[in-house]
Amino acid sequence: MPAQTMLNDARLRRSRLDRLARRIVQIGFLLLFLYPLAIVIYQRVTFRAAPSFASWLLFWDPLLLVGHLARREWSTLVIGGPLLLLALTLVLGRFFCGWVCPLGAVLDLVQPLTFWRRNRKRKPQVIRLDAAGKPIPAARPIYDRLFPARENSRLRYYILIGVLAAGFLSLQALGLLDPLVIFHRATTALANNALALRQPPLRVFLSVISLIFLAIVLLELWQPRFWCRNLCPLGALISVFSRFSLLNRRVSNACTLCGDCQRACAMNAIPRNEPHNTDYTACTFCLECESACPNRGISFGFGTLAGKQWQRSRPTAADAGRAGPRFGGSYVAKSGGRLTRRELLSGVTAGVAAMALVPAIQLDQRRGVLRPPGALPEAEFVRTCILCQECVRVCPTGGLKPIVLDGGLAKVGTPQLVPLAGACTRNPSCPHLCAQVCPVGAIKPIPPEAVRIGRAVVDHALCLAWDQQVKCLVCVEACLVEAAQMYNGRIIVDPTRCTGCGRCENACPVAGSAIHVQPFTG
């Protein structure tokens, strides 16, 4: 067997092992990030005590770090994880998107389902010429301007500027479009609805905030990694640092300009008709190009920044079949351009528009809602909550639920206490878990005696002790602070003692409950 054939077989086996290793790493990180959620599911299915863990995902989020710095929230600031991620990006490039990100792993698992994209032929491009024989540029629709064919849109950078600018006023914009928060929110909503007994099926999962996750998956079925290439703000932030990565993609003299690597790259990191170049702001080092190369001419390795910027004269189309010593060496050139004045003005406009949009959304404030114990004042809570639903996940009674559309547009996705689903215990079995897991400090730890969620009010028309004069003491027995009392055979509530925990409302035998906890109005 010729030596070159043996070498190609060895490279093929190595590329397959590399792809398998990447898939194992992706699934491993995906299971690691889902582990805290699995503990909660275990608790609610078996009714056994188990330790609750905060999310291991959100504390690595650089976008949340920037949001904290913008709002000068130092008490809950976690610096080590995001800075370590950005430091590793300088060495390994955009590896997080291709190897670690759970949303990226879900998209990669969805890709094999797109059987209709396989062997799809491209339509021939019709070029019209003018009288002088020069090509006439075709009219480009708005969609093609935002998302150019075979290129990555810069819209993701405008979205990044927009959410960072909005972060100065409210962290909701960060939480709404942050991919790590989107993944965490969608999985939490799906798990909670799967175990819910008193909620309509998938009511929360099909809300506006979780529809973003569904939209990302649908975009993946349309085009590979569409979200990562064109819209993801976290990917745009990582791209700023990945252009300086030390890990390089190398193309040897075995390249014949066949274009297989360019077609296999889901991130469009290999410029069209220039397979020797690499756009490191898009490359996630998924190793698909290495496996797709029929001549095993692609490899990956570390090099200096000066070496990355070095570019030799590439072969022309006429020389494609004569690649040899004349075109020796490895091509590790980096494609990229300077920021134009138009792009700078567009970024500034996106930031100003985002800052103006936040107050407009918060104008829609309808009725008050019951917040978790220790929540910040309502206006501050709405600006601080990132909609991650960590508190919803760890609530032992399942009483915390995300708001859908019954509290105003600004409150969509924020947590509220629904006593009919589960009351707030605040006993040794729940050492204020919602405050412990909140990654942005929207819920502060407070002692049990300081809990003031709302005030219980008895509906005399429904209460058995009032309307039917039945000796019903269920709510009195359920109250732990003796706020619900029997007076002359009827139920009354002492407002000075009531904490609004909702135990009385949850225990009431009347359908829909004859006692309701109402939020404070002032």
Residues 297, 299: Cα–Cα separation, whole Å:
7
Tens-level pLDDT at each residue, the chain (522 residues): 465 565 556 666 776 787 888 889 999 999 988 888 888 777 777 777 667 777 788 888 888 887 777 665 555 556 778 888 999 999 999 999 999 999 999 999 988 887 766 655 555 555 566 667 666 665 555 555 556 656 788 888 988 988 888 777 778 878 888 999 999 888 887 777 666 544 554 555 555 567 889 889 998 988 889 999 989 999 999 999 998 888 988 888 888 888 888 888 889 898 876 788 888 999 999 888 888 888 888 888 887 543 343 334 344 444 444 443 333 344 454 444 455 566 556 656 655 555 555 555 555 555 678 999 999 998 889 888 888 888 988 888 888 988 876 666 778 888 999 998 888 887 666 888 888 888 888 899 888 888 889 999 999 888 888 877 778 889 999 998 889 988 888 888 998 899 999 999 999 998 889 999 998 865
Handedness of CA 266, 271, 275, 278 (dihedral sign): negative
Residues 213, 256: Cα–Cα separation, whole Å:
40
Structure confidence at residue 517 (pLDDT)? 93
Question: Smallest Cα–Cα separation from 283: which of 99, 440, 418?
Answer: 99
Is 434 strand, coil or helix? helix
Give residue limits of the domains in the chain.
244-316+323-327, 454-518
DSSP label at residue 52? -
| Same fold: 244-316+323-327 with 454-518 | yes
Question: Smallest Cα–Cα separation from 21: which of 285, 274, 213?
Answer: 285
Structure confidence at residue 18 (pLDDT)? 78
Give the pair of three-digit tokens for residue 173.
Answer: 């914009």
Give the DSSP H or E segment for 458. Answer: strand 455-458
Burial of 467 (0-12, 13-18, 19+ CB in 10 A): middle
Structure confidence at residue 102 (pLDDT)? 93
Structure confidence at residue 401 (pLDDT)? 87
Q: CB under 8 Å to 447, separation ≥6 — which residues?
A: none
Structure confidence at residue 340 (pLDDT)? 59
pTM of the full predicted structure? Answer: 0.80
Structure confidence at residue 316 (pLDDT)? 45
CATH number of 244-316+323-327: 3.30.70.20
Q: Are the beta carbons of 333 and 309 closer than 8 angstroms?
A: yes
Roughly what angle, to the nearest 10 degrees, separates helices 208-222 and 179-195? 110
One-letter amino acid at 416 equals Q
CA atoms within 13 A on the CB side of 217: 16
CATH topology of domain 454-518: Alpha-Beta Plaits (3.30.70)
Q: Are the beta carbons of 12 and 26 closer than 8 angstroms?
A: no
One-letter amino acid at 340 equals T
Give the start-end residues of each E strand in 191-349.
247-251, 298-302
DSSP β-bridge partners for residue 487: 490
- The C-alpha angle with vertex 287 and arms to 58 and 263, in degrees rounded to 5, equals 110
Assign 3-state DSSP to the chain and report helix, strand, coil percentages, each to 5: 45, 10, 45
Is 86 strand, coil or helix? helix
